[in-house]
Structure formats: structure tokens, C-alpha cells
Amino acid sequence: MSGLLEFCIASYGLTTLLCYSRIFNLIRPSYYFFHCPMCVGFWVGILFTLISPLTDIFNINFNFYNLLISGCISSGVSYFFGMIINDEGVKISLQGGNKNVIK
């Protein structure tokens, strides 16, 4: 179970770096896809599945189904955390659509 938690944290971290960090501003294309944590998260999950035999952090048996499931897990986790956490803290939506941030 800890391998899944590490996979999720690593997926969210890399997806956030690829989508929002200034490090990649010069090489990140301006297409919407590269700013969408759900889209990029899917491909990060596939990448992590492909490189999992090279790491001891998480081990995923390589087959088509695990590739697809890992992409979906990474996409969901990246989108979920991307919607509730930003640079200012945790976002909370109240009635009327007003957004407050807990710092």
C-alpha cells in the first residue's frame, strides 16, 4: 500500500512541475494539454509505469492493463490535488462560488 501512496505523491509532484513550474516555461508548449493536470497526469502515470523496473520506490508489473490503470490513477490524483491546493494554500469553495484560501 505504501507503494501506491508514493506513486500518487510522485505523480502529483511531477505533474505539478510539468504544468505550472517556471522551470519548464521556456520549453513548455502553449497548447492547453500541457497546462491540464488531468491530461499531463495520465502520461506521467504511464511514464512511471514504464520506468518502475528501474526504481525501488514503487514496483508495477508491466502490462497493458497496469499501464492504463496507472495512468488513470495518476490523472485522478493530479486533478484532485490540483483542484484543492494552489500556491496560496488549500482552496475552499463556499456557497455562491466565493473561494477562500486557508493558509
Name the pTM for this structure.
0.80
The pLDDT tens digits along the chain (103 residues) read 678 899 999 999 999 999 888 888 877 777 777 888 999 999 999 999 999 888 888 888 889 999 999 999 999 999 999 888 877 778 776 655 555 555 5
CA 55 to each of CA 7, 40, 90: distance values in angstroms, whole numbers, following the listed order: 11, 21, 31
pLDDT at 62: 85
- Gap between the Cα atoms of 84 and 1, Å rounded: 23
Query: Cell 491540464 maps to which residue?
Result: 36
Give me the residue spans of the domains in the chain.
2-102
pLDDT at 38: 93
- Gap between the Cα atoms of 36 and 19, Å rounded: 7
Contact 40, 34 (CB under 8 A): yes
Tally Cβ neighbours within 10 Å of residue 82.
19
- Gap between the Cα atoms of 64 and 20, Å rounded: 29
Query: Cell 475552499 maps to which residue?
Result: 92
pLDDT at 78: 94
